[in-house]
């Protein structure tokens, strides 16, 4: 499984212009997101850490990937989605006709809900209780990345656990990204990539079967990529 996810991570990294990167582990550790002791590292510390951040620094020779010893891989943006996908596949293989799987916001649903309709999924409002909208799908996956899930505040600035691998700092400019599409692990990874990217519309040129609901820093909602039925709420 690790080899498969590693290969897929390289492909997604390439297709997203480096915005999805599993080598951000040292950054999450330095900023205190692993032990809960949040802090803002010095510029010098971040510069040093950036020497071991970046999938372009991992050698690939004749298709063989060798991860250097000092690198710390973070699977948080892809492994959970893959776990949901494996569970769904097992249930479908057992001829289960309908179901709804949700692992911390990584979702796959198929068949009809108890009301014999497509499944309705609330998209969490990133700044207050309740939802910004309701997604109606079946036979599809959805995953959300947001700056409201794990973060800390310092001098009025929000620092989230979603890192821009090109800077070493938490990504800015968006509050949440929900990606919808056929495969759970791709929705998981692409939601992170879109959150980080300054040109997220280009990502969907590589992934035309996927779409996103994006809430920016001002709370404005936009739709990218393939369109899916979303009812926005007041």
- The pLDDT tens digits for 106-128 are 999 999 999 999 999 999 999 99
100 phi/psi in degrees, rounded to 5:
-140, 115
Which of 10-19, 57-66, 79-88, 121-130 has the lowest average pLDDT? 57-66
pTM of the model as a whole? 0.95
**Beta strands at 174-181 and 140-146: parallel, antiparallel or unpaired:** antiparallel
For the chain, the domains span 2-65, 79-232
Q: Can you tell me the mean pLDDT for 26-49?
A: 97
> What whole-number percentage of the chain has pLDDT above 70?
99
Same fold, 2-65 and 79-232: no
pLDDT, residue 154, reads 95
Domain 2-65 has CATH 1.10.10.10: no
- The pLDDT tens digits for 127-178 are 999 999 999 999 999 999 999 989 999 999 999 999 999 999 999 999 999 9
Confidence of residue 63 (pLDDT cuts 50, 70, 90): confident
Distance, C-alpha 15 to centroid of its chain: 14
Return the DSSP state at 216. E
Query: What is d(CA 201, CA 2) in angstroms, rounded to the nearest whole number?
Result: 29
Fold of 79-232: T-fold (3.10.520)
């Amino acid at each position: 499984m690790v080899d498969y996810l590693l290969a897929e991570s390289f492909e997604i990294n390439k297709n997203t212009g480096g915005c999805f990167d599993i080598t951000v582990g040292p950054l999450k550790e330095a900023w205190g997101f692993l032990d809960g002791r949040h802090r803002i590292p010095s510029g010098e510390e971040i510069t040093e850490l950036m020497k071991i951040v970046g999938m372009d620094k991992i050698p690939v020779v004749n298709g063989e990937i060798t991860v250097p010893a000092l690198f710390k891989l973070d699977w948080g943006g892809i492994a959970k989605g893959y776990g949901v996908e494996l569970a769904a596949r097992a249930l479908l293989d057992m001829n289960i006709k309908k179901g709804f799987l949700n692992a911390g916001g990584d979702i796959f649903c198929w068949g009809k809900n108890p009301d014999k309709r497509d499944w309705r999924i609330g998209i969490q409002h990133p700044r207050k209780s309740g939802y910004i909208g309701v997604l109606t799908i079946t036979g599809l996956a959805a995953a959300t990345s947001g700056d409201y899930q794990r973060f800390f505040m310092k001098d009025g600035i929000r620092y989230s656990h979603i890192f821009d691998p090109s800077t070493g700092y938490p990504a800015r400019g968006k509050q949440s990204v929900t990606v919808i599409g056929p495969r759970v692990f791709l929705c998981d990874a692409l939601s992170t990539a879109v959150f980080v990217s300054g040109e997220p519309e280009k990502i969907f040129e590589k992934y035309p079967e996927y779409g996103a609901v994006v809430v920016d820093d001002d709370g404005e909602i936009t739709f990218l990529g393939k369109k899916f039925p979303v009812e926005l709420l007041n």
